[in-house]
């Protein structure tokens, strides 16, 4: 007996995998927000959770800026997977007619979020390097969850190109629908 994996099966697996990833990314983004509030209002020792206690003791403002970069990137990643979950949940991804305005908007929004995550990852990494040059011990960009800025930027530009192709496909499909 041969098992055939259909597009519907694959989309179901991707839907549940996206939910799992979304949950993890929301926990990450929430931990940045919670830690920033908790550290600044209740317990400065909590800054050690992200290995930023030396930065916090040097200047709480720099700590909050670094944590803001981490939070923005974390929220953008979570938003990307939220968009994926929503398009799969609402069943707006029709593989028999892929060139729909919803799919075009989805790809465009995904490209903007990817590009934004790349920009903020890069800025956050450069900010951490600048702080390191001030003789403050800083974790590397991977530990700050700001690594891979080049990959995010590349993915954002690539998705932007795909979004333009989809925009043209939507126009052609709309013209085709009108001629029938």
What is the average pLDDT value for the chain, to the nearest integer?
91
pLDDT tens per residue across span 5-60: 888 888 889 999 999 999 999 999 999 999 999 999 999 999 998 999 999 999 99
Residue 175 pLDDT: 79
**Per-residue tokens: 25:** 């990314």
- Distance, CA of 78 to chain centre: 5
pLDDT of residue 180: 59
Q: Which two tokens stand for residue 166?
A: 């989809």
What are the residues whose beta carbons fall under 8 Å from the beta carbon of 15, sequence distance 6 or more? 85, 88, 89
Percentage with pLDDT > 70 across the chain: 99
């Amino acid at each position: 007996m041969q098992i055939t994996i259909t597009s519907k099966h694959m989309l179901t697996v991707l839907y549940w995998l996206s939910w799992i990833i979304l949950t993890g990314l929301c926990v990450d983004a929430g931990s940045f927000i919670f830690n920033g509030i908790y550290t600044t209002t209740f317990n400065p020792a909590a800054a050690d959770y992200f290995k930023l206690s030396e930065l916090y003791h040097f200047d709480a403002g720099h700590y909050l800026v670094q944590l803001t970069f981490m939070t923005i990137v974390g929220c953008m990643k979570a938003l990307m997977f939220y968009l994926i979950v929503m398009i799969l949940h609402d069943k707006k991804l029709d593989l028999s007619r892929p060139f729909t305005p919803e799919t075009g908007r989805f790809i465009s929004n995904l490209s903007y979020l990817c590009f934004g995550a790349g920009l903020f990852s890069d800025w956050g990494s450069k900010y951490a390097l600048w702080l390191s040059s001030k003789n403050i011990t800083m974790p590397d960009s991977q530990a700050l969850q700001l690594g891979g800025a080049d990959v995010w930027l590349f993915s954002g530009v690539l998705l932007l190109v795909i979004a333009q192709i989809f925009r043209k496909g939507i126009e052609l499909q709309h013209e085709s629908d009108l001629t029938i």
